[in-house]
Amino acid sequence: MGRLRSAGKIEPVNKLWLSAKEAMAYLGCSDKLLEKLRNNAEISFSQYNKRTIWYDLKSIERFIERNRVV
């Protein structure tokens, strides 16, 4: 979690985007499953060049909720 300095205080900054490594750790999945979720438009992502991909944390949380088994 990042932090901002403001008038001598350090305040936490909530992450909105996760790297591929962070997204895999959050979901507990492999890179192949993460790629499948991305390609099937199950989760949102942003891409810079062809290598840097960031995953939207809110969409990952929505995916988990949609697929929850009660």
- pLDDT value, residue 1: 56
CA dihedral 56, 60, 63, 65 (to 10 degrees): -120
| Weakly modelled stretches of the chain, pLDDT under 70 | 1-8
Phi and psi torsions of 68, nearest 5°: -70, 140
Neighbours of 37 (CB within 10 A): 19
Please state the pTM of the whole predicted model: 0.78
CA distances from 10 to 4, 6, 35 (A): 6, 6, 36
Q: What is the residue extent of each domain of the chain?
A: 17-66
pLDDT of residue 4: 58
Res 27: pLDDT: 96
